[in-house]
Structure 1
Amino acid sequence: MTFFNATLILGTLAAVVPIALHLLARREPQRVVFPGVQFLRPKLTSQRSRLRIRRWWLLALRVLAVIALAVALARPHIDSALSSTWWTVGLMGLTGVGFLILASVAVARGMGRSLAVGVAVAGVVALLGSLFLGTRTWATSGDLSEGNEQPVAMALLIDNGPSSKRLIASSNGTSISRLEQAIREAATVIERLPEGSRLTVLDRSATPIGFALDSASARLRLSQMKPLANPLPVQERMDAAIELLRSSDLPGKQLVVVSDWNAASWKPSAQTPAMQPEDVAISMLQVDAMGNGKADAAESNQINRFLSSPKLVDVAPAPGVSIPISVSVGMESTSSSEGQSLNVTVQLSLYERDPSLPVIRDGDLVLPRLRGVDRASVTVAPGANANVVMTLPPLDLGTHHAVVELVGDDAFDWDDRRYLTLSIPVPPRVLLVGADADERNLLGSALTAPKAPDDDGAGFRVAGVAYSDLSAVDWQLIDAVAMIDPPIQIDAASQSVVSGTGLSKNSVDQLIELSLRGGGVVMMLGPSTEVLGVAKSNMATDGSPATDRLLPRLIRSWRVPSPGTFWEVRSPSHPILRPLVQLDDQPSWSSFRVNRYWQTEPTTGAGWQSLVQYAGNQHGAILARSIEPNEPKGKNGRVAVLTTPLPALSKETRSWNQLFSAADAWPAFVTWRGLMQWATGVSDQAMTVSVGATALVPESDAANQAIGVSKLSAEAIAELSVRLYPPMTEARESNGEVVISEVDVAERGGVFTETNEVGTTFLRGPGYWGGYSTNLDPVWSLDDRVTATEMDQRFGAEQWISSDSGEQLSIRGRVGGSPPVSLHGPMMLLAVVVFLAEQLLSNRFYRTSGAAA
């Protein structure tokens, strides 16, 4: 056993005070003779005997109360490995006290003298055994003192994930971040390290680690830490720290993790095995448990409002048209905000498109002017989200950057501003081929809505021809083609095109060539498609004809009994279906019946991906695949196949489905737009991403493509080098220094993986102005915590110990030593129980004495 405040053990000397008072309070009784006093003497002798016993027990309780209080204040700790031995010592002591009590009762009630002596001897023997065993265990146990002078190899891991940026209230009432509080506690631990210890300080960045030269360098490393938007996993950094500690020759090795236990950082997953390093002690300092609960109480009163990442209602916005943006507003549910709604104001701002900015002037980063374009207010309840639709004004061709922000401050500001980058592309050229002019016009209008197909401001350049006019088409001017109910004849055995009155083999070759140079082909099969002969099931794919690039292997036309079947989405994350699943209201596909479709071979291993299937079977409804380009650096082609036609409004196709003929055909409308956006490549861009995700930007400026300001050849585009400016938040927090690096957008293929900061990255160069935006993952807006049970699953219940502050952290300077167990609480409880027993016994004693008088 060890006392962390050993000097307070001297307080046990105060036990002589109740003894002195007890002796001084004894008064010699005066002899008073009354008539018949001889009849009272036997009774008086018995009463004196009982009172004398009670007085001695009262004295013992008073002495024990003083000793228990002094020991409790000295904060005794025992080695958890010896806890069973100390339990034995305690039980033997209690047994001895119990026997002495029984002996006292026997004497008081006049029972046999031999019985009282025997019980008393047993009690004395038990007490002596308890004293001997306790003394022996105390003498042989190791030192558990907080002031351990043995040097230790220690790693201090500071959890500086996004949640460390949250504000809490310190003991003096000022607001500080969790990271600042963690740094303070880590500095306290550094001050308490024994002489000769080795120390490393690390965070969740990818910075290499090593032992610090001295405590001053460790403190400097602490002061330079900042919250990270895209930190490395906690376990990865713990593994690195443990490996470094094992390289030390010091016997004591300890890893101290200072964290807020945020679930996004700590929640174990199926891929996270439990860590149980037997040679390294793991200690936890929980940030919000510091300051005796003051910080936690103040933090519970902090309200956090947050925004979701903004989304474009239309994936490919058209130039000259107002652009709606959807964003949801929420408020974190806390004990103080429960049941209280809050009125929140949201503002939408737009950076002006200025090819000369950003630029460095006098060492400062000058950004384009940010102007507000829309504002809205919404009432938000705790734990619930409210959707807000805001509108950007009509924009020109090219890349544009916007910011959505909440007006006002709260406990966590990283989720109060969301950044958005969008591109207004050069309208792709789409060719609609179909026998029915009304069907072509309907699909063309649906594709360019709300503009007309012939409007210069439409998002697509749409042209329509009949199959008989395909020979006059210049395919070099086409970006994508959609074939409505193509009259193609296919041999069932070879799956090759049979030339005839339908779609000729030459036209099929032109479609394949379009896909090989990066174009898109959409085939919507209907009654005009024919399969000649009998198709064989499970045919080999090796040596298959080129037709397989445009169509999966067709088997037969499948009829469905009334009332028909309907679509079931299998890959909602695919770009074709992404505009559909992003909507708040999801379609009820059972209202859009399909009565007939083409059955295809299973697509496993054939390059085709089934995105939508028919309910009740595995038959594909929408299938898609990519085509490898001819050019080494060319763009992949795209082919999508619908096994039932759209819009199915002609006399020949009307009986096939009700996708466009139902009462409200908006799901088919959105699906059709998603098909063509994917086929033309306008949905490929990922210019607004979460931190850590890959951003995809256009390789050339759409504005320059359209107006011809600096026409660039393919060779010039390949050599285009633009400057990458860091996010504006990084520029403001870099001690006045802005880092600029040269990048080649074309060589990268428009791919940027350096998305570790929150904000907007501006790209500017000769004839180029663009960039991308990164937002914090929404999971950090909810401050969920892991529990001690989940920590046990991660580390093992016996391998880690929690502490409330750096002052109370046990520095464990020995290998394999079990953690100390505090007896402060039990000793305080014992002192209270003994004091209450003394009060009860003293009240009974004085009441009995008064009655006797």
Structure 2
Amino acid sequence: MSLLNPALLFGLALAVVPVVLHLLLRAKPKRLVFPALRLLKQRRIQNTRRLRLRQWWLLLLRMLVVAVFVLALCRPSLPPAQYSPTVGEWLRLATVAALGAAAYFTAMTWWQRQRLPRHTLLTRRTMLRGGVGIGAVLLAVVFVAWPYQRRVAAEITGPAPSALDNLPVAAVFVFDNSLSLSYQYQGRSLLDAARSLVVSQLGQLPPGSQAAVLDASGKLPPVFTPDLTATQNRVTSLAIEPVVQSLNERLRAAIRFQQNDRRRTLGEQASVAESRRQDKFVREIYLVTDLAKSAWQPDDSGTLKAELAETPWLGMYLLDVGLEKPTNLGMVSVRPSREAVESQGAVFLEGTVRSEGGLRDEAVVELWVNGSDGKPIKRDQQNVSFVSAPEAAVRFQVSGLTGRFAQGELRLAAADPLAVDDAGYFTIRVLPTLRVLVVAEERSQAGFWLEALHGLNSDGEAYHATFVTTGALLTTDLATFDVACLINATSPPREVWDKLAAFVRNGGGLATFAGAFSSAAVTSGTRLDPLSYNSPAAQELLPAKLKASLKFDPSQHLNFRDAIHPLTQRLDALGALATLNDVSFHRYWSVEPLPAAATLARWTDDAAQPALLLREVGQGRSALFASSVDSIAWNDWPRNWTFLVFADQLLQVLSRQAVARANFGLGDPAVVLLPDDAPPGNLLLRLPDFTQRGLPSAGDRREVAIPDLMLPGHYQVAVTQRETSDVLAGFSINPSGAETLLERLTADDLDSLFGAKRYGLARDLESLSRSVQTGRLGQEVYGLLLACLVVVFAGEQLTATWFYRMDET
């Protein structure tokens, strides 16, 4: 136990004042002449005994009043624990009181029935009250006080700090400076309020204290400094960070930092026995947060709670700067149906809007697209309702796009306290017409494939297909094409394979379809020669060797298993993977994949044999599909709509156009694909805040990796040549919808994270001071002592008035 005012303990000497007054003011006997003195002397002896017992009770109560009053003024504190009696303890106390009352009234009733003389009855009553009182006290000590102190002692996880309120403090302030702290309330952000409170708390630290600051981004290394003014400057310079780590990790980093510093401090006391070494600081961690769940990771393993349990010497305080019921209206996500579209083509934008805290029942979402001069132009708007659900979906169509890319945003028409999620940004790459060379023995063998490419041009000029026979391939200039499709070529010579290999190494794409019988099995009709496909020249290019053309019995389906490949992701996003189960394949080629090949899809037979393989060759890609794209005898895929989707996405992957993303999340490294006709020069990145910075040269590759992008909005990559610049590419970055989710942690969530009664929670400087004082000195029992003082004083008054009243007849 520690005392805020220990000097007042000298006031306990005042407890002897009632004794002195009792000795000085006690009544003196008066002499009266009266006959029949023998009876009066006997009565006098009985009254004297009764009054003497009453006087002792009154004297003890008056001394106790003074002692409790002095202790209350000293304001003692105890280690944190549950000092309130439990239900069982109250019941046991009530039982003891009931037993005492029953014993008293039973004895009095029995004596009254015996018709004892009045003076005898009064004497026995006085003795009975003393005996019952002493017995009740003993029972209360045995059955209530002793179990109570054992329970409280067990709840005290560590010894009470021997520190006074002015002992130096080693404090680590952990700031949640994520996007949700930009919430505006009463004319300032929550981060502004957090900085103000922490600066005030720093000013209240005792002399000799040291402090360190950590933020949620992990950019600030923890360093203790005794210069609290420098720490205040560091706090006031904190800003919102779009990309942050979980607060679990930041708190664990703060705990490890305190452990290491404490270990160093104790290690400096080498001349002192290890058991007697003491830390010269009171160690504390302050977490400043709005208690948003989005800043935390689920801690199912209880790691943070376990680390706090291992450091009972470390105080943990939460400073809640958030609102009890925050409100927000924001764009959760913006998803284009395609990130790349042909010139004059169309794309759909799907967005999700979320309303929190019942801010509004409806909202207006506007579509803005930047014009050729870079200024946004409003194209459309939609009304959404939140009456039935807190989230609503919107869908816009954007068409007539030209240039190299188009940028825009879905914007909320009304403002709200959290502005960072009022708009969702998007970029759509506008692709040049893809030049596709289709090679087959006869045009009829490529009919379905050519029809698919023609159907993909319904919204614009996506593909320009040129057909040549296998024999004419050697005289065709492949440099004018982006992708070549080799369909059921019977036996290409080495010169053809060499020409295709050079084309792919220079960045072209090749799709090979094996959809004809083996020449070893048939001598006429459409057939393939495995020897040609397995020759050294072909194997420099193809991702697998052909083994045999076989038949499925029963028919099988395609199963895309490489879930992370862009082709699989695009097919899944367009809903094609689920429908592929309806497509039956009757014949196929058994193949042997090469080590450098990736298997994107397999057949659903028991052997799960490869069906679609992809290989990187130089700067280009080569794909092999082990079935036909031109014969319904091999499969009925050309009759299914997924055939068009597969043709579109496969050609995009082979030309590397589908690989290039244009929309990223905050913190993701952006990889930008530059156009083929990009002129040489210095690359510049234009940021959403209208600043720009240089980029490394792309070299021979058309891809530029750009890390550390921390601002939501539109970005553009430009090339400068002397006094002119040309914008080559653009992309957009959006924060995660979870970053602005304002749902708060509950008391149960906090107990699960930190452990019950292992942390202090405050919402302002006054409550923080009380919480810190309780953590440093223990739980103050001032209120409890005042309650005891009232009870004792009431007992003293009752004794003085009731016990000494005149005995009535």
The match for 1:734 is: none
Distance 1:618 1:127, change over 3 A: same
Q: Give the secondary structure class of the aligned counterpart of 1:432.
A: strand
Q: Deviations over 1:262-315 (max 9, x none)?
A: 333321468995462645855555555x6xxxx64442xx1433241x333234
- Equivalent of 2:726 in 768, 771, 779: 768
Q: Is contact 1:557–1:596 with CA below 8 Å preserved after alignment?
A: yes
The match for 2:671 is: 696
Q: Does 1:561 align with 2:591?
A: no
The match for 2:78 is: 78
The match for 1:187 is: 199
Amino acid in structure 2 at the alignment position of 1:660 = P
The match for 1:504 is: 493
The match for 1:708 is: none
Distance 1:400 1:89, change over 3 A: closer
- Structure 1: distance between partners of 2:478 and 2:489: 19
Q: How does 1:307-322 map to 2 (within 5 A)?
A: 307-308=332-333, 310-322=334-346
The match for 1:431 is: 437
- Structure 2: distance between partners of 1:130 and 1:350: 76
Q: Give the secondary structure class of the aligned counterpart of 1:211.
A: coil
Q: How does 1:539-550 map to 2 (within 5 A)?
A: 547=539, 549-550=541-542
Which is helix-richer, 1 or 2?
2
Q: Deviations over 1:58-81 (max 9, x none)?
A: x99xx99x989x97x99975224x
Q: Is contact 1:759–1:775 with CA below 8 Å preserved after alignment?
A: yes
* Equivalent residue pairs, number: 701
Q: Does 1:643 align with 2:635?
A: no
The match for 2:293 is: 263
The match for 1:487 is: 489
The match for 1:660 is: 638
The match for 2:370 is: 351
Q: Is contact 1:723–1:764 with CA below 8 Å preserved after alignment?
A: yes
Q: Does 1:458 align with 2:461?
A: yes
Q: Give the secondary structure class of the aligned counterpart of 1:414.
A: helix
Q: Deviations over 1:492-526 (max 9, x none)?
A: xxxxxxxxxx2323322322222222221112221
- Equivalent of 2:684 in 712, 723, 732: 723
Return the offset for 1:211: 3.2
Q: How does 1:404-415 map to 2 (within 5 A)?
A: 404-415=410-421
- Equivalent of 1:156 in 173, 176, 179: 173
- Structure 2: distance between partners of 1:244 and 1:179: 24
Q: Given the two structures, how large is their TM-score scaled by the length of structure 1?
A: 0.69
Return the offset for 1:317: 0.9
- Structure 2: distance between partners of 1:214 and 1:428: 64
Return the offset for 1:104: 4.8
Return the offset for 1:595: 2.2
- Structure 2: distance between partners of 1:322 and 1:96: 80
Distance 1:764 1:75, change over 3 A: farther
Distance 1:567 1:584, change over 3 A: closer
Q: Deviations over 1:549-595 (max 9, x none)?
A: 41424443342334x22223323442213333223786433322222
User: Could you list the runs of 5+ residues in structure 1 that have no partner in the other structure?
Assistant: 16-48, 355-367, 489-501, 534-541, 630-635, 706-710, 732-738, 847-851
Q: Give the secondary structure class of the aligned counterpart of 1:110.
A: helix
- Equivalent of 1:756 in 692, 703, 710: 710
Return the offset for 1:743: 2.0
Q: Does 1:306 align with 2:331?
A: yes
The match for 1:365 is: none
- Structure 1: distance between partners of 2:287 and 2:596: 48
The match for 1:226 is: 239
Q: Give the secondary structure class of the aligned counterpart of 1:697.
A: strand
User: Could you list the runs of 5+ residues in structure 2 that have no partner in the other structure?
Assistant: 16-49, 109-123, 266-278, 523-533, 803-807
- Structure 2: distance between partners of 1:575 and 1:79: 60
The match for 1:513 is: 502
Q: Is contact 1:567–1:613 with CA below 8 Å preserved after alignment?
A: yes
- Equivalent of 1:110 in 89, 107, 112: 107
Distance 1:657 1:313, change over 3 A: same
Bigger drift between 205-214 and 606-615 goes to 205-214
- Structure 1: distance between partners of 2:256 and 2:540: 54
Amino acid in structure 2 at the alignment position of 1:305 = G
Q: Deviations over 1:224-270 (max 9, x none)?
A: 22221112443554455445543474633222221234333321468
Q: Deviations over 1:464-512 (max 9, x none)?
A: 223333232222222211222x235xxxxxxxxxxxxx23233223222
Q: Is contact 2:483–2:509 with CA below 8 Å preserved after alignment?
A: yes
Return the offset for 1:149: 0.7
Return the offset for 1:655: 2.0
Q: How does 1:381-460 map to 2 (within 5 A)?
A: 381=387, 383=389, 385-435=391-441, 437=443, 440=446, 442-447=448-453, 449=455, 451=457, 458-460=461-463
Q: Is contact 1:152–1:812 with CA below 8 Å preserved after alignment?
A: no
Q: Given the two structures, how large is their TM-score scaled by the length of structure 2?
A: 0.72
- Structure 2: distance between partners of 1:543 and 1:270: 57
Amino acid in structure 2 at the alignment position of 1:184 = S
- Structure 1: distance between partners of 2:173 and 2:365: 40
Q: Give the secondary structure class of the aligned counterpart of 1:578.
A: helix
Q: Deviations over 1:723-775 (max 9, x none)?
A: 323322xx5xxxxxxx5432234248411112222112233332530332211
Q: Give the secondary structure class of the aligned counterpart of 1:669.
A: helix
Distance 1:391 1:628, change over 3 A: same
Q: Is contact 1:481–1:521 with CA below 8 Å preserved after alignment?
A: yes
Amino acid in structure 2 at the alignment position of 1:421 = T
Return the offset for 1:658: 1.9
Q: Does 1:526 align with 2:519?
A: no
Distance 1:642 1:809, change over 3 A: same
The match for 1:742 is: 694
Q: Deviations over 1:775-796 (max 9, x none)?
A: 1012224334556666677667
- Structure 2: distance between partners of 1:463 and 1:475: 11
Amino acid in structure 2 at the alignment position of 1:425 = L
Amino acid in structure 2 at the alignment position of 1:593 = S
Return the offset for 1:155: 1.0
- Structure 2: distance between partners of 1:176 and 1:445: 61
Amino acid in structure 1 at the alignment position of 2:176 = D
Distance 1:459 1:79, change over 3 A: same
Return the offset for 1:673: 0.7
The match for 1:31 is: none
Amino acid in structure 1 at the alignment position of 2:511 = V
Amino acid in structure 2 at the alignment position of 1:474 = D
- Structure 1: distance between partners of 2:365 and 2:624: 42
Distance 1:792 1:609, change over 3 A: farther
- Structure 2: distance between partners of 1:375 and 1:96: 71
Q: Is contact 2:590–2:609 with CA below 8 Å preserved after alignment?
A: yes
Amino acid in structure 2 at the alignment position of 1:693 = D
Amino acid in structure 1 at the alignment position of 2:331 = F
Q: Is contact 1:95–1:123 with CA below 8 Å preserved after alignment?
A: no
Amino acid in structure 2 at the alignment position of 1:351 = N
Q: Is contact 1:158–1:259 with CA below 8 Å preserved after alignment?
A: yes
Q: Give the secondary structure class of the aligned counterpart of 2:134.
A: helix
Distance 1:125 1:779, change over 3 A: closer
Q: Deviations over 1:375-429 (max 9, x none)?
A: 2333345656444332334233323322221111234322221122232233332
Amino acid in structure 2 at the alignment position of 1:697 = V
What's the RMSD between the two structures over aligned residues?
Answer: 5.4
Return the offset for 1:158: 0.5
Amino acid in structure 1 at the alignment position of 2:107 = G
Q: Is contact 1:599–1:619 with CA below 8 Å preserved after alignment?
A: no
Q: Does 1:687 align with 2:662?
A: yes
Distance 1:79 1:549, change over 3 A: farther
The match for 1:468 is: 471
Q: Is contact 1:97–1:127 with CA below 8 Å preserved after alignment?
A: no
Q: Deviations over 1:28-75 (max 9, x none)?
A: xxxxxxxxxxxxxxxxxxxxx9xx99xx99x99xx99x989x97x999
